Chain A
Amino acid sequence: MSMTPTSTNGTAPRPALELRGLSVTFPGRPPVKALSDVTLQLHPGRALALVGESGSGKSTAAKVLTRLVAPSDGHIILDGQDATRINGREARLDYCRRVQMVFQDPFAALNPAHTVAHHLVRPLALHRPELDAAARLERAADLLRQVDLDPAAALPKYPHELSGGQRQRVNLARALAVEPQVVIADEPTSMLDVSIRLSVLDTLNRLKRDRGIALLYITHDIATARHVAEETAVIYRGRIVEAGPTDTVLRQPQHPYTRLLLDAVPRVGRPFGATGRISAEAERVRAVSAGPGELVPVGPGHLARRTAAPVANA
C-alpha cells in the first residue's frame, strides 16, 4: 500500500517510519499469522489512524514498531535506514528514543510509587545525560505545559492523585521527553470518559503539528480517526483492507468491511431498526473480507483490497 502524500514540488517527502511488507507469525498449531504483508508510512507532522477490531493485528503492529515483537518477514525503515534488525544497546536505545509509545491504560502505565516529576526526569536522565538535575526539572515542567497541565500542580503529584485524562497527558509528556520523531499511541483515549477524549486527541493533534511528530494512532473507534489523522488504514485479520485520506475513507468507503465498521459505529439520533439488523450483513462481509485479495487503487491515494465475492452496498 502506498500512502505517500505528494508534496508541491512532486517529490515525495521521506517517511519518518515505514513498514514494508511486514508479517508477524506467532508459533502454535497451527501458527497464527497476526500480520500479513503490511505496508505503512508515517510522515513528520502527520498522523495515520490504524483502525481495527480485537484480534485484527493493530496492537501487534504497535509492538513490532516498539521492538516488543520481532517481525517474521518484511522491513522496518526508520528515517530511511533499515532498522529491521538492530543490535546492541546503543542502537536499541537510539531507536527507542526516536520511536516512543503511549499505552492504552493510563492507570497501569505509570508507577504508583513515583511522582510525576520522577516519571519525566527519569527518561531525560537516560537519554539526555548532558542535562543537570535543575535543567531536567525545568524541561519536565516545560513538557507538562505542552500537554496542557500546570507544572506547579502536577509535578509533585502521584498517579493516584490525577484523573485518567491527566494521567494520559503525563504519559504523553513522558513520551515527548526524549524528543521522538515518531509516537505510537495505542488506544490512548479508550479508557477515558467520553467528555475528555476529544480534548486529549486535540492535544495529540496539536503536538503532532507543532513538533513535526509522525503519529500512529491505533484505535477500534473509526469515528475518532478524523479528529487526529490525515490518513486512515483499516486492518482486518492482519491485512490492510483499505487505506487513504481519512475524509475519503470515511465518506466514500470502498471495502465492505470498512462500510460495516462505519455502520456499526454508534451514531447519535439513529435508532436501531431504522436501517435493518447488522448481523446478516456482518456475516457476509466477514466471509468475503478474510481472503488475501489484492490492494488496488480506487482513488487518489486511496487503496482497497479486492474481496472474494461482491458484496451489496450497505
Chain B
Amino acid sequence: MTTPLLSVRGLCVDYATSDRLVRAAHEVSFDIGPGEVLGLAGESGSGKSTVAFAVARLHRPPAFVTGGTVMLDGTDVLALEGEDLRRWRWRHLSVVLQSAMNALNPLLTVEAQFRDLFEAHGITNRTEIADRSAELVRMVGISPDRLRDHPHRFSGGMRQRLVIAMALALSPKLVIMDEPTTALDVVVQREILEEVAELRRRLGFSVLFITHDLALMSQFCDRVGIMLNGQLVETAAPSDMIAAPRHPYTAKLWASLPRLDADPLPLSKEAAP
C-alpha cells in the first residue's frame, strides 16, 4: 500500500465528568490513503464523531485526547498549537458537519462568507477571491450569480452544497464529513454524494465519512469501519464486510437494515433492547 495520507494510532479520547473520566474512543487505529474514502459507522454514542473531532482537533474540555498519534501528510496533528493549528486547519483538513445547513451566517451574503474564509487564510486580492468563489460554487452546481444571496434564499440541499464548496476552498487533502446529508431527502442526498464522489475523483482529496447509515456508507466508501463502545471493531472494503463480517456486532448491524428485497412484512419475535 502507498504511504497513507492520514495515520491514526492508538487514539484515546476521554470526557471528564464531575468524578471520573468516560472513555469515548479507545485505542482507535486506522489509515486513509490519498484519494481514499473511509467510512466510520456506529450508533449514537459509539465514538465515531469523537474520533472525527480528534482528527480535526475540534475537542474542547471536558473532552481530552489522552493517548495516541494522528499524522496527516507528515504533520503531527496532535502537536499543533495556536496560530499553527489555525493556519493548518482548512488548508490541510476541512470539516462538513450534519448541521452545516445552519453553519452559514444568516446575516451575511454567501459572497461575504467566502471572502472571510479566504482572508482568514491570507488571500486578500479581491479579484482572486471573486474568481475562486465563483469557480467553487459552480463546481457544486450553483450559479455564481447567487453568491450575492443570503443563506435563507437557498434550500437545505443547496446550503449543504455551499458548505461543501467552502470545505474545498483551500484544496485540503482530507475532508471530514460527519453525517453531511442526514438531514436531507434521499434523492438530494444521493445527488450531493455523487457530486462529492465526482469531485474527489477530479481533485484527489480523501474523505473521512461519518454516518449511521450503513447502506449509504457501502455505496460511497472505499473502506468502512464499524465503531462499538468507542472501539473500532472491524475495517474492510464494503463488499468484503458484507460477504464475511468478522465481528458479531458487524453482522448484527448489517442484518438490521431494512431491505427493499426482503420478504414482505417479516414479523420477528426478537425482544426489544
A142 contacts chain B at the CB level, 8 A cutoff: no
A273 touches B258 (CB 8 A): no
Which residue of chain A has its CB nearest to the CB of B252?
Answer: A195
Complex-state Cα separation, A205 to B268, whole angstroms = 10
Of the candidate stretches A2-10, A77-85, A219-227, the one touching chain B is A219-227
Q: Given that A193-B43, A227-B266 are known contacts, is A278 also in contact with B187, CB under 8 Å in the complex?
A: yes
Q: Given that A54-B185, A195-B253 are known contacts, is A226 also in contact with B265, CB under 8 Å in the complex?
A: yes
Residues of A within 8 A of B270 (CB): 199, 202
Q: Given that A202-B268, A266-B215 are known contacts, is A193 also in contact with B44, CB under 8 Å in the complex?
A: yes
A96 contacts chain B at the CB level, 8 A cutoff: no
Residue of B256, B260, B270 ringed by the most chain A CB atoms within 10 A: B260
A170-207 vs B, Cβ < 8 Å mask (1 yes, 0 no): 00000000000000000000000111111110110110
Q: Given that A264-B189, A268-B257 are known contacts, is A199 also in contact with B265, CB under 8 Å in the complex?
A: no
Q: Which of A193, A220, A223 contacts B259 (CB 8 A)?
A: A223
B242 contacts chain A at the CB level, 8 A cutoff: yes
Q: Which of A221, A223, A272, A282 contacts B219 (CB 8 A)?
A: A272
Residues of A within 8 A of B185 (CB): 53-54, 220
Q: Which of B43, B186, B258 contacts A227 (CB 8 A)?
A: B258
Within 8 A of B (CB), among A238-273: 246-247, 250, 260-273
Residues of B within 8 A of A282 (CB): 187, 191
Residues of A within 8 A of B268 (CB): 198-199, 202
A148 contacts chain B at the CB level, 8 A cutoff: yes
Within 8 A of A (CB), among B236-250: 238-239, 242
Within 8 A of A (CB), among B254-273: 254, 256-260, 262, 264-268, 270-273
A164 touches B267 (CB 8 A): no
A230 contacts chain B at the CB level, 8 A cutoff: yes
A149 contacts chain B at the CB level, 8 A cutoff: yes
Residues of B within 8 A of A220 (CB): 185-186
Interface of A, secondary structure class, is: helix
A194 touches B264 (CB 8 A): no
Q: Given that A230-B265, A268-B242 are known contacts, is A197 also in contact with B256, CB under 8 Å in the complex?
A: yes
Residues of B within 8 A of A196 (CB): 256, 272-273
A268 touches B254 (CB 8 A): yes
A163 contacts chain B at the CB level, 8 A cutoff: yes
Residues of A within 8 A of B242 (CB): 268-269
B24 contacts chain A at the CB level, 8 A cutoff: no
A266 touches B187 (CB 8 A): no
Residues of A within 8 A of B44 (CB): 164, 193
Interface size of B by CB at 8 A reads 45
Complex-state Cα separation, A222 to B260, whole angstroms = 8
A226 touches B260 (CB 8 A): yes
Complex-state Cα separation, A53 to B183, whole angstroms = 11
A165 touches B272 (CB 8 A): yes
A169 contacts chain B at the CB level, 8 A cutoff: yes
Q: Given that A54-B156, A193-B43 are known contacts, is A268 also in contact with B218, CB under 8 Å in the complex?
A: yes
Residues of B within 8 A of A164 (CB): 44
Complex-state Cα separation, A163 to B265, whole angstroms = 25
Residues of B within 8 A of A277 (CB): 191, 194, 198
Residues of B within 8 A of A193 (CB): 43-44, 212
Residue of A227, A250, A266, A282 ringed by the most chain B CB atoms within 10 A: A266
Residues of A within 8 A of B264 (CB): 226, 246-247
B15 contacts chain A at the CB level, 8 A cutoff: no
A87 contacts chain B at the CB level, 8 A cutoff: no
Complex-state Cα separation, A227 to B239, whole angstroms = 25
A278 touches B191 (CB 8 A): yes
B178-206 vs A, Cβ < 8 Å mask (1 yes, 0 no): 00000001111111011101100000000
Residues of B within 8 A of A227 (CB): 258, 262, 265-266
A313 contacts chain B at the CB level, 8 A cutoff: no
A279 touches B272 (CB 8 A): no
Q: Which of A53, A169, A206, A250 contacts B260 (CB 8 A)?
A: A250
B267 touches A169 (CB 8 A): no
Closest 4 A-B residue pairs measured CB to CB?
Answer: A148-B272, A266-B215, A266-B216, A53-B185
25 A-B contacts (beta carbon < 8 Å): A54-B185, A148-B271, A148-B272, A194-B256, A196-B256, A199-B270, A202-B267, A202-B270, A203-B272, A221-B258, A223-B258, A223-B260, A226-B258, A227-B258, A230-B265, A263-B190, A265-B215, A266-B189, A266-B215, A267-B260, A268-B218, A270-B218, A272-B219, A279-B191, A282-B187
Known contacts A53-B185, A196-B272; 7 further A-B pairs (Cβ under 8 A): A165-B273, A200-B272, A222-B260, A223-B258, A250-B260, A268-B254, A278-B187
